[in-house]
Structure 1
Amino acid sequence: MDDLFAARSQMALSLGFHIIYACIGMVMPFFMAVAHYRWLRTNDPVYKNLTKAWSRGVAIFFATGAVSGTVLSFELGLLWPEFMAHAGPIFGMPFSLEGTAFFIEAIALGFFLYGWDRFNRWFHWFTGVVVGVSGLASGILVVSANAWMNSPAGFDIVDGAYVNIDPIAAMFNDAWFTQALHMTIAAFAATGFAVAGVHAYMILKRQNVAFHARAFKIAAIFGAVAALLQPLSGDLSAKDVAERQPAKLAAMEAHFHTQEAAPLIIGGIPDEENKKVDYALEIPGMLSFLVHGNFTGLVEGLDKIPPAYLPPVTVTHFAFQIMVGIGMFLVLVSLLYFGTLWRKQPWLTKRWFLWLFVLASPLGFLAVEAGWVVTEVGRQPWIIYGVMLTADAVTPMPGIAYSFYLFTAIYVSLSLVVIFLLYRQIKMVPVLYDTNEKPLAR
């Protein structure tokens, strides 16, 4: 394993773990705030218990997200010193603002966790809302920094020096809105279906059904609404990528040849040597329509990209197909769910319907991971698109492979701890409330 591959693998591993913690940390506080609001309005003790249960989960993911995010910030300097030397002064503003949002989130979470029966009821609820808003802002700011890598702005290069730095222009680059929108909606969809799946499983086991039914409904509505909105944000993102990063779009679609009336490829196995896709379903003219709004527009293919700047096609294409395939499946589940609510079908209590959500619970995060593979691998070989190659940014320090092995062990251990804590948290619910949802004596 050479140092470049080891550095990229370590960064991919760290991002892959952190993005799950970050998504849940962004979204779960809103679930918690809705349950808390329902308790304040109805005085139903089940909602109070649900709020407290979810707040413990928020605390767990806040802690793990803080740890993994801190590791990532150190890795940027450790693995990519040349990149940080030039990029740090340019896109440092969203990172500094993200730190501010993180501090606000930490303070608000402390107020919420220890504010029961100490604060005004509505002020206490408001602190929970602040946890969600600040966590969401934190995620958007980090995505803005990543968007700058895909759409660099806010500086000029003169004789190899990065000058005329405008941090505001860098933060609000051409890609920040579409990436932030797509990522935010993906976080709500993934977390919503994951949480709904856990509670659906507990309903199937007939454990505290009233408690888990309320939790399931809140999470499922969030996840289903987000899943239905995601194709719209995906369309905006794809059009933006087609304009700014034609090589990435061509890799996503395994579109080897520039042509008019370009077909949309579904599935298939790219043959990079012979510049074709085997076993694919093609919809004539659909790629042109998605990019240009008409069925005859010219779509640039990989044949227009210099060979030295070609992204890995097979990995990018497969990741894109996985993301889109899962997204469409979650859309169908969401339509089915809202159809049952509208028609008041008894399916909500049927085992097959609940198992559908259980099976869907990990899929949103698989789609999130696949989407980040598309974003990062599709940008290669650039670390700053069109400006700096990834190979030119890696550290000259030897032995990065050992660092990769060490961090792999750390993240696996951290994940096992998180799984244990969440399992214990779920098992604690029957201790708090009996099957009639009445408080038990401690």
Structure 2
Amino acid sequence: MDDFIAARSQMALSLGFHIIFSCIGMVMPFFMAVAHYYWLRTDNIVYKNVTKAWSKGVAIFFATGAVSGTVLSFELGLLWPEFMKHAGPIFGMPFSLEGTAFFIEAIALGFFLYGWDRFNKWFHWFTGVIVGVSGLASGILVVAANAWMNSPAGFDFVNGQYINIDPIEAMFNDAWFSQALHMTIAAFVATGFAVAGVHALMILRGQNVLFHTKSFTIAAIFGCVAAILQPLSGDISAKDVALRQPAKLAAMEAHFHTEKSAPLIVGGIPDEKNKKVDYAIKLPGFLSFLAHGDFESEVTGLDKIPDENQPPVAITHYAFQIMVGMGMAMMLVAILYFLALWKKKNWLTSPWLLKLFVAATPLGFIAVEAGWTVTEVGRQPWIIHNVMRTADAVTPMPGIAYSFYLFSAVYVSLAIIVIFMLYRQIKMVGTLYDKPE
């Protein structure tokens, strides 16, 4: 493994690991706040127990996310010094604000965890809400920085120099809204289905059914609402990518030839050598509609992109197909769940519906990982779109492969520890919260 591939692999590993904890950190506090609110309004002790149990999970994920996020900050400077040299002064503002949001989140979480029976009950609840709001703001600000890499703004690039820097324009670049919206909803989908799936499994096992039923309902409603909304944000994102990054859209759809009434490709195996897709289902005109809102519009293919500027097609295409496939599967589960709430109440306790949620537990995070693969791999060979190539930004220091192996071992160890802690926490729920205090 050469140093360039090692640097990209280490960054991908770090991002892929951290994004899971970021999503949970953005969303779980809202679940917690809803359960807490129900306890304050109804005085039902089960909701208090749910709140306390979830708060311990939030603390575990917050600590792990803080560690992995700090590592990412160092990696940006150590692995990509040329990128940070030029980009840092331009898009540093969202990172600085993200740090502020992180500190607010940490303080609010401390207040919440240790504020039971010490604060006014509504102030205590409010600190939990602040944990969620600041976590959500933190995630959006980081996405704004990534969006800048896809849609650089806030500077003029003249004779290799970055001049006339405007950090505000850089932060609110053309891609930030669509990316932030899509990522935020994705976080709610992934976390909602993951949490609901765990509680559905406990219900099927007959463990502390009342506790897990209340927990399942809160998580499922959040996840299912987000799953219904996600295709709308996906449509906004697709149209935005078609406008700003036609090469990425072409790679996502393995769209090799520029044409009008372009078909939407479902599945298939891209053949980059012969510029075609085998075994695909083609929906005539639907790619034109997805990209431009018109079934007759022309969609730019990879034939209009110089070979040296084309992203890897197969990886981008497969990742996009996985993301969409997982999203559609969760949307189907969401429709069934809302149908159960509206018309088929007996379905809510049916094992088959709970088993669907158990099966869907990992789908949201698989979709998130696939979506970030589309975003990052689809931008290649650029680290700053159409401005700086990834190969020009990597560190000249040798031995990056060994760093990648070391970090891989660290992340695997950390993942095992987190899984063990969560497993213990889930098992403890059955003994600590099986009866009123």
Counterpart in the other structure of 2:303:
303
Deviates more, 1:151-160 or 1:68-77: 151-160
Matches of residues 156-171 of structure 1 in structure 2 within 5 Å?
A: 156-171=156-171
Aligned AA (1:148): W
Q: Is 1:371 matched up with 2:371?
A: yes
Query: What is the alpha-carbon distance in structure 1 between the residues aligned to residue 430 and residue 324 of structure 2?
Result: 38
Query: What is the alpha-carbon distance in structure 2 between the residues aligned to residue 293 and residue 398 of structure 1?
Result: 48
Q: Is 1:433 matched up with 2:433?
A: yes
Report the Cα offset of residue 430 of structure 1.
Answer: 2.1
Counterpart in the other structure of 2:206:
206
Aligned AA (1:131): V
Aligned AA (1:132): G
Aligned AA (2:191): T
Unaligned stretches of 5+ in structure 1? none
Query: What is the alpha-carbon distance in structure 1 between the residues aligned to residue 291 and residue 178 of structure 2?
Result: 15
- CA offsets per residue over residues 213-252 of structure 1, 9 Å max, x none? 0000000000000000000000000000000000000000
- CA offsets per residue over residues 366-391 of structure 1, 9 Å max, x none? 00000000000000000000000000
Contact residue 316 and residue 374 of structure 2 kept, 8 A: yes
Query: What is the alpha-carbon distance in structure 1 between the residues aligned to residue 2 and residue 175 of structure 2?
Result: 32
Contact residue 242 and residue 292 of structure 2 kept, 8 A: no
Q: Is 1:99 matched up with 2:99?
A: yes
Secondary structure of the 2:273 match is: coil
Counterpart in the other structure of 2:185:
185
Unaligned stretches of 5+ in structure 2? none
Q: Percent identity?
A: 80
Query: What is the alpha-carbon distance in structure 1 between the residues aligned to residue 60 and residue 139 of structure 2?
Result: 17
Query: What is the alpha-carbon distance in structure 2 between the residues aligned to residue 438 and residue 107 of structure 1?
Result: 30
Aligned AA (1:42): T
Query: What is the alpha-carbon distance in structure 2 between the residues aligned to residue 121 and residue 241 of structure 1?
Result: 46
Query: What is the alpha-carbon distance in structure 2 between the residues aligned to residue 244 and residue 173 of structure 1?
Result: 11
Report the Cα offset of residue 209 of structure 1.
Answer: 0.1
Aligned AA (1:115): G
- CA offsets per residue over residues 273-305 of structure 1, 9 Å max, x none? 000000000011111111222211110000000
Counterpart in the other structure of 1:172:
172
Secondary structure of the 1:202 match is: helix
Aligned AA (1:21): F
Counterpart in the other structure of 2:422:
422
Aligned AA (1:307): D
Q: Is 1:20 matched up with 2:35?
A: no
Secondary structure of the 1:174 match is: coil
Counterpart in the other structure of 2:240:
240
Query: What is the alpha-carbon distance in structure 1 between the residues aligned to residue 290 and residue 25 of structure 2?
Result: 33
Query: What is the alpha-carbon distance in structure 2 between the residues aligned to residue 240 and residue 261 of structure 1?
Result: 19
Give the TM-score of the pair, scaled to structure 1.
Answer: 0.98
Query: What is the alpha-carbon distance in structure 2 between the residues aligned to residue 383 and residue 79 of structure 1?
Result: 12
Query: What is the alpha-carbon distance in structure 2 between the residues aligned to residue 400 and residue 393 of structure 1?
Result: 14
Counterpart in the other structure of 1:128:
128
Secondary structure of the 1:256 match is: coil
Q: Is 1:30 matched up with 2:30?
A: yes
Q: Is 1:40 matched up with 2:40?
A: yes
Pairwise CA RMSD: 0.6
Secondary structure of the 1:396 match is: coil
Secondary structure of the 1:270 match is: strand
Query: What is the alpha-carbon distance in structure 2 between the residues aligned to residue 438 and residue 327 of structure 1?
Result: 38
Counterpart in the other structure of 1:261:
261
Counterpart in the other structure of 1:317:
317
Report the Cα offset of residue 345 of structure 1.
Answer: 2.6
Aligned AA (2:224): A
Counterpart in the other structure of 2:396:
396
Aligned AA (1:140): I
Counterpart in the other structure of 1:70:
70
Give the TM-score of the pair, scaled to structure 2.
Answer: 0.99
Query: What is the alpha-carbon distance in structure 2 between the residues aligned to residue 183 and residue 438 of structure 1?
Result: 38
Q: Following TM superposition, where does structure 1 have runs of at least 4 consecutive aligned residues deviating by more than 4 angstroms?
A: none
Aligned AA (2:78): L
- CA offsets per residue over residues 70-107 of structure 1, 9 Å max, x none? 00000000100000000000000000000000000000
